[in-house]
Structure 1
Amino acid sequence: MIRTHASGGDFGRLRAEFALPESFGPDVLAEAEAAVLDPLAATGEREDATGLPFVTIDPPGSKDLDQAMLLERTVHGFRVHYAIADLAVFVPPGGALDREARRRGQTLYLPDGNVPLHPPVLSEGAASLLPGEVRPAVLWTIDVGEDGALAGTRVRRALVRSTEQFDYEGVQAALDAGCPHPSVAALPELGRLRRERAVRRGALELQLPEQEITGDVDGGWVLARRPRTAVDAWNAELSLLTGMAAAQIMIEAGIGVLRTLPPADPDSVGWLRRSAAAGGLSWPPETTVSEFLSTLDPERPASMALYADTTRLLRGAGYTAFDGALPEVVTHAGIGGPYAHVTAPIRRLVDRFATEVCLAVTAGREVPSWVREALADVPAQMSASDGLAARVERACIDQVEAWVLAERVGQEFAAVVLRAEETRAEILLEDPPVMAKCAGTRFPEGERIMVRLSEVDVEHRRVSFERV
């Protein structure tokens, strides 16, 4: 992991620029406090699953824990027990909490603290699947065959108790050492199987390096390039598996809300093939985009450039709600099949409504009227919050990049060309891990070059480079 320290201020100006809420209104807080006085009293009939040894895997220090898991090897394959925080029990339909959640859409994460979807008394307390605490949850039990195929799904309300809170690197280290926790011992085998199926169905995995910001002990900020561990990918496959099971339930019932993305057009795929050839990557004609991407070494500059180019194939994602006739597009091209968000209701609005549809359908009940009424508005609410989240994340990274480079104008750096245009390119510096624009011509896409830092504008969060 490449890490660079920087002094700098806080993100107050950025929060004001995007008009991010600083707190919750008194009516919202009062409703949240009332909901946690005795949350289990209002949960209704639930299965007691507190004897199952669930564990969570999240970034270090996380408190808003949506998911807990238990994986079992069976005679016919695998059984995935996936407990998801049950937010509906805490959020009365049409109340102050509900209205505020619809306005926010999702939790926004900033280096100096998040802007939560729900008040912390819920998101980091009574609703969070914290270790050692009995919590109301929506429990998905999903059977997977030896070939990694979805074989059966059961979803119901339950009481659960997580036994351990892990982070990705800790789970990875335990697996590498041959001493994993029993609840996740089957994760590598199941994760690989599901990843293989994902490639066969055409899913696109772009292993671009992630820029990560954390605080340091001196009050400054650390900009790091975080490599994705195998556990990251395998854990993501469990969430995808659950989301695909949920989508199947909703499609068969003719009601729900899906995450959708139309297939890429042939011209875009043809352009990507030409881009690969220009970067010296051999792409056999009979090999699909997904198959080809899965063979690339993510550490190679040419691979990083092609991943950046492949993002063009993922444009146009959205949310599609339906009640009756199925929409024209019910699949997500980047995932390679139908998919829905149901695994992060603490942090994302749409999951609460999609989950309620699945619970009602599988129990043979009518979908609640408050869910049906909300479906029409949820896509627009989520699209707006997705756009804001992307802008806020980019602004935070741009700000820290400017702080990191503020005293280094005129210095030269090694960089990888990710995407090239006629007079500029998108580059990734190797150290510090900065992604920026660079002026110049004839950029060799997917190759290493030297660049000079020509300007830093800390106030406007801009850095400028020129090719040496």
Structure 2
Amino acid sequence: MPHSQIVVPDDDVQLKAALAQLRVEFKLEEQFSDEVMAELSNSLQHHKLPELDLSQLPFITIDPPGSMDLDQAMYLERTPSGYRVHYAIADVPSFVPPNGALDAETRRRGQTIYTPDGRIPLHPAEMSEAAASLLADQLRGAFVWQIELDQQGQTSAVAVRRAQIKSIARLDYQQAQQELEAGTSSDYLSTLQLLKEIGQYRIELERQRGGASLNTPQQEVAHANGGYQLIFRPALAIEDWNAQISLLTGMAAAQLMLDGKVGLLRTMPAPDQAALEKFRAQAVALGKPWPAGMAYGEFLRSLDIADPRQLALMHAATSLFRGAAYTSFDGTLPEHTVQAAVAASYAHTTAPLRRLVDRFVLTTCAALSAGEPVPDWVREALPRLPELMSASDQLAGQVERAALDIVEAALLSSHLGEEFDAVVVAGPRKTAGRAEAANGPATAQTAASRPELARCTVQIQQPAVAAPCQFSGEVEVGSTVKVKLLTADITKREVLFELVSSSHGKVG
């Protein structure tokens, strides 16, 4: 049967209860204390815009549909020597008194956490979705980065300063892509056109640096028309170009802080030799050998995720992207300063409404750019921030996985016993009492004394679910298979398939 439109109503009692339980289980507090709200009320009442006025520049925002916490706005222009990027980032520090109640609460939260039925914000909505958000047609304070690029998109000069700006348009990704392709005259068409130019140059520079991007389709919960769906959504081209502006700014921030010998980097080690050798073996097993001498980022960009075996290889590549961390320093530069996927030094600085560290990085960079001392409250916080963000990242990951498990089970709960087309994206995992195999051809029953079924991971397209699948016999990673749904338990957050047939024929 086709499974193109599996939807679960958002008023489903069991689904609502399971999603609500996440807030209890993970101790997620949506509301803020009276003390925090009183402090914020005072900040809003006495808030002043920066003296520098750049509101005549036609900034625009490009964000996911429905976003209200708009961190970034851009205006791009061509210059005789190349390009000038004006990138405005919401001035969150001007609303958060150092060492006050809101400061303490944001350090506890770390970041905004998203669930299918809402979000647990880092800051109160009165600030993050109103007073500080770079909403269209509103004067707002911002940290405005001015980054000069040459004709190939290389950075030649960087400055950041506080200023007041006004966005003239609030676009979502689809709108921005359509307006660019249509070429309809507007006050911001030139910025969209230059975003494409600069974005393509920056992608090429990323290739030359040896940077890597995993282009696995993103599993997303789509909420519309009173129900939830799961989809695998490939990124639009404009999303990639937009991301390159953020990466450009993060790299500029990192260099400012390294030159000033104070700050906070986002780091990640390069894959170790064992991980690289394992991935090379997986590439051979899946029929797409990794050519000698080709950087792993270039190889990943060459994969065609429409090919089931190459999709499985893309999933296996996640083993190369591990160990991301925050590294703070003050006076002595750290030994490791590079984010390996970016292939450069990099810092989080473009999402202060939704992520704690960006507020400190922005303040640091503005001070260094102006030749002023970095504020004491920033320097005092730096050693503790990596630990706070590590805990927050872990929590956000746990909540996201649990929420996806709930929605997956809810979508499939009325389809028990039905069969689905799928792709095997990972071989059996090591579990107590079960067979273990590496990616590639996998034998479930390795000996008469080990009769248990093995489990692989399969990905079905509609709905967009990747889940365990039990089998006996043989199954090859990257193969297309037919699976039957055995379990879809919303409360336990469990989905389990059984392998019915593969390219090798009947199994089980």
Under a length normalisation based on structure 1, what TM-score does the superposition of the two structures give? 0.96
Cα offset, 1:222, TM superposition: 2.1
The letter for the 2-side match of 1:195 is: I
CA deviations on 1:335-391 (whole Å, 9 max, x unpaired) are: 111000000000000000011111111111111000000001100111111111111
The letter for the 2-side match of 1:392 is: V
**Structure 1, unaligned runs of 5 or more:** none
CA distance, structure 2, for counterparts of residue 46 and residue 248 of structure 1: 27
Cα offset, 1:409, TM superposition: 1.1
Flag the 1:311–1:451 CA change in 2: closer, same or farther, 3 A. Answer: same
Cα offset, 1:184, TM superposition: 1.9
The residue number in structure 1 matching 2:480 is 448
Backbone CA RMSD of aligned residues: 1.4
The residue number in structure 1 matching 2:278 is 271
CA distance, structure 2, for counterparts of residue 216 and residue 229 of structure 1: 20
The residue number in structure 2 matching 1:285 is 292
Cα offset, 1:459, TM superposition: 0.5
Give the alignment partner of residue 120 of structure 2, picking from 105, 115, 118: 115
CA deviations on 1:243-270 (whole Å, 9 max, x unpaired) are: 0000001111111000001111122112
SS of alignment partner, residue 142 of structure 2: strand
The residue number in structure 1 matching 2:447 is none
SS of alignment partner, residue 422 of structure 2: strand
Give the alignment partner of residue 213 of structure 2, picking from 205, 210, 213: 205
Moved more, 365-374 or 259-268: 259-268
The residue number in structure 2 matching 1:437 is 468
Give the alignment partner of residue 410 of structure 2, picking from 403, 407, 412: 403
Flag the 1:436–1:50 CA change in 2: closer, same or farther, 3 A. Answer: same
Structure 2 residue 43 is the aligned partner of structure 1 residue 35: yes
Give the alignment partner of residue 167 of structure 1, picking from 161, 166, 172: 172
The residue number in structure 1 matching 2:491 is 459
CA deviations on 1:206-236 (whole Å, 9 max, x unpaired) are: 1111122133333x32222222111111111
The residue number in structure 1 matching 2:370 is 363
SS of alignment partner, residue 47 of structure 1: coil
Structure 2 residue 82 is the aligned partner of structure 1 residue 77: yes
CA distance, structure 2, for counterparts of residue 67 and residue 200 of structure 1: 27
SS of alignment partner, residue 114 of structure 1: strand
Q: Percent identity?
A: 46
Cα offset, 1:286, TM superposition: 1.7
The residue number in structure 1 matching 2:110 is 105
8 Å CA contact retained: 1:199, 1:294: no
8 Å CA contact retained: 2:74, 2:85: yes
State which structure, 1 or 2, has the greater radius of gyration over its C-alpha atoms: 2
CA distance, structure 2, for counterparts of residue 354 and residue 110 of structure 1: 27
Cα offset, 1:182, TM superposition: 2.5
Cα offset, 1:3, TM superposition: 5.5
Give the alignment partner of residue 318 of structure 1, picking from 300, 325, 328: 325
The residue number in structure 1 matching 2:401 is 394
CA distance, structure 2, for counterparts of residue 429 and residue 448 of structure 1: 10
CA distance, structure 1, for counterparts of residue 463 and residue 406 of structure 2: 14
8 Å CA contact retained: 1:59, 1:168: yes
CA distance, structure 1, for counterparts of residue 5 and residue 169 of structure 2: 29
CA distance, structure 2, for counterparts of residue 191 and residue 160 of structure 1: 23
Give the alignment partner of residue 187 of structure 1, picking from 184, 195, 201: 195
Counterparts of 1:83-162 in structure 2 under 5 Å? 83-162=88-167
8 Å CA contact retained: 2:303, 2:314: no
Structure 1 runs (4+) deviating above 4 angstroms are: none
8 Å CA contact retained: 2:96, 2:103: yes
CA distance, structure 2, for counterparts of residue 418 and residue 122 of structure 1: 43
CA distance, structure 2, for counterparts of residue 383 and residue 463 of structure 1: 29
**Structure 2, unaligned runs of 5 or more:** 429-436, 438-453, 501-508
CA distance, structure 2, for counterparts of residue 4 and residue 60 of structure 1: 22
Give the alignment partner of residue 258 of structure 2, picking from 244, 251, 264: 251
8 Å CA contact retained: 1:3, 1:433: no
Give the alignment partner of residue 223 of structure 2, picking from 215, 228, 233: 215
CA distance, structure 1, for counterparts of residue 113 and residue 265 of structure 2: 22
Cα offset, 1:147, TM superposition: 1.7
8 Å CA contact retained: 1:39, 1:126: no
CA distance, structure 2, for counterparts of residue 417 and residue 177 of structure 1: 39
8 Å CA contact retained: 1:50, 1:160: yes
Under a length normalisation based on structure 2, what TM-score does the superposition of the two structures give? 0.89
